[in-house]
Amino acid sequence: MRSKSYSLGLAGYPLGHSLSPQIHGAALHALGISGEYSLYLITPFPEGKKELAALLDKVKVGAIHGLNVTIPHKQNVMPLLDELTSAAKAIGAVNTIFVQDGRLIGDNTDAPGFWADLQQFIGSKEQERQSALVLGAGGSARAVVYALLTHGYQVAIAARRTEQAQALFNQFSTISNQLSVLDSVQRSLDTDRYSLLVNTTPVGMHPHENASPWPMDMALPKHAAIYDLVYNPRETSLVKRAHTIGLLATTGMGMLVEQAALAFELWTGVAAPRNVMKQVVGM
């Protein structure tokens, strides 16, 4: 195992903000494993379809040993794979690809990555928090909603694109009856019924740090833990506001590291050095 040199990477567009090379590079170095983690800029579809297919061919023949996938290709890549894990199939998105018996397998480590970090974030209070409001209905929301539903949460979705929220609802209503869709986040909404608020939208991400996915003229849920998947800046406007009024709040940096650790373990078969991976991103 240690004599093998791993070629790993990330496919997506854009990729300039990615911390994955630092995270995986630190893990390889800490374990004394030879290898590198590269960024593969793949043009959005339909133009990028041939590029992505060619990259997957390299994975299949062993020139690349493991591949992560990010926006906008988490769903684009699915028809190009030989098989999907049950999680990837249920979520409808792939973020990790590996080869098994000569077949390209698509998995999703976002959902277990989010759940593992959520448990660490909430700690012993986790059992008290069983009702969540999720902002957004994109690929990240799919992973978050799947994780919450499969662990017994009641989940409500609020998204600007109602058709996207409805599609998410239709997909997951087959695995749980604990899911609902809201028209939007409005003053009339009884937000205090929620014990967890999760932002899965990019609102508040650098360079728009002052933006917030939660209306500024509307109070945050009084007793909710706030989980913002945005991790750049390190303290988003939403998290800063929550901290100001004494709420438990965090960004998605922990999820980023945890999903990376799970992918690393799929590719190498070695336990990921999570402490090292956290240190390299300043956690």
pLDDT digits (tens, 9 = 90+) for 79-95: 999 999 999 999 999 99
Q: Quick one: 94 and 174 in the same domain?
A: no
Q: Quick one: 52 and 63 in the same domain?
A: yes
**Cα dihedral sign for 64, 70, 72, 73?**
positive
Q: Quick one: 177 and 231 in the same domain?
A: yes
Q: Quick one: 162 and 273 in the same domain?
A: no
Q: Quick one: 200 and 163 in the same domain?
A: yes
Q: Residue 17's pLDDT band (boundaries 50, 70, 90)?
A: confident
DSSP annotation of 201 reads: S
Mean pLDDT of 3-9: 90
Give the chain's domain count: 2
pLDDT single digits (tens) 56-68: 999 999 999 999 9
Q: Quick one: 121 and 221 in the same domain?
A: yes
Give the domain CATH number at 116: 3.40.50.720
Domain presence at residue 1: no
What is the reported pLDDT for 126? Answer: 54
Q: Quick one: 50 and 79 in the same domain?
A: yes
Domain presence at residue 265: yes
- Residue 103: which domain range? 6-108+256-280
Q: Quick one: 196 and 209 in the same domain?
A: yes
Q: Could you please report the per-residue DSSP string of 229-243?
A: ---SSSS-HHHHHHH
**Cis peptide bond prior to 72, omega within 30° of 0:** yes
Domain presence at residue 16: yes
* C-alpha–C-alpha distance, residues 270 and 2, integer Å: 10
End-to-end CA distance of the chain: 29
| Token code pair at residue 188 | 């009339």
Q: Quick one: 241 and 120 in the same domain?
A: yes
Q: Quick one: 122 and 244 in the same domain?
A: yes
* C-alpha–C-alpha distance, residues 29 and 6, integer Å: 12
Q: Quick one: 64 and 170 in the same domain?
A: no
Looking at 49, 50, 60, 74, which residue is catalytic?
Answer: 74
pLDDT single digits (tens) 109-158: 999 999 999 999 988 655 555 899 999 998 889 999 999 999 999 999 99
Assess whether 125 carries a catalytic annotation. no
Q: Quick one: 220 and 147 in the same domain?
A: yes
What is the reported pLDDT for 1? Answer: 44
Domain presence at residue 129: yes
Domain presence at residue 102: yes
Beta bridge partners, 133, equal: 156, 197
Domain presence at residue 176: yes
Give the domain CATH number at 13: 3.40.50.10860
Q: Residue 250's pLDDT band (boundaries 50, 70, 90)?
A: very high
- The rounded mean pLDDT for the chain is 92
Give helix 20-30 / helix 253-268 axis angle, nearest 10°.
50
pLDDT single digits (tens) 33-64: 999 999 999 999 999 999 999 999 999 999 99
- Whether the per-residue pLDDT at 3 is higher than 50: the answer is yes
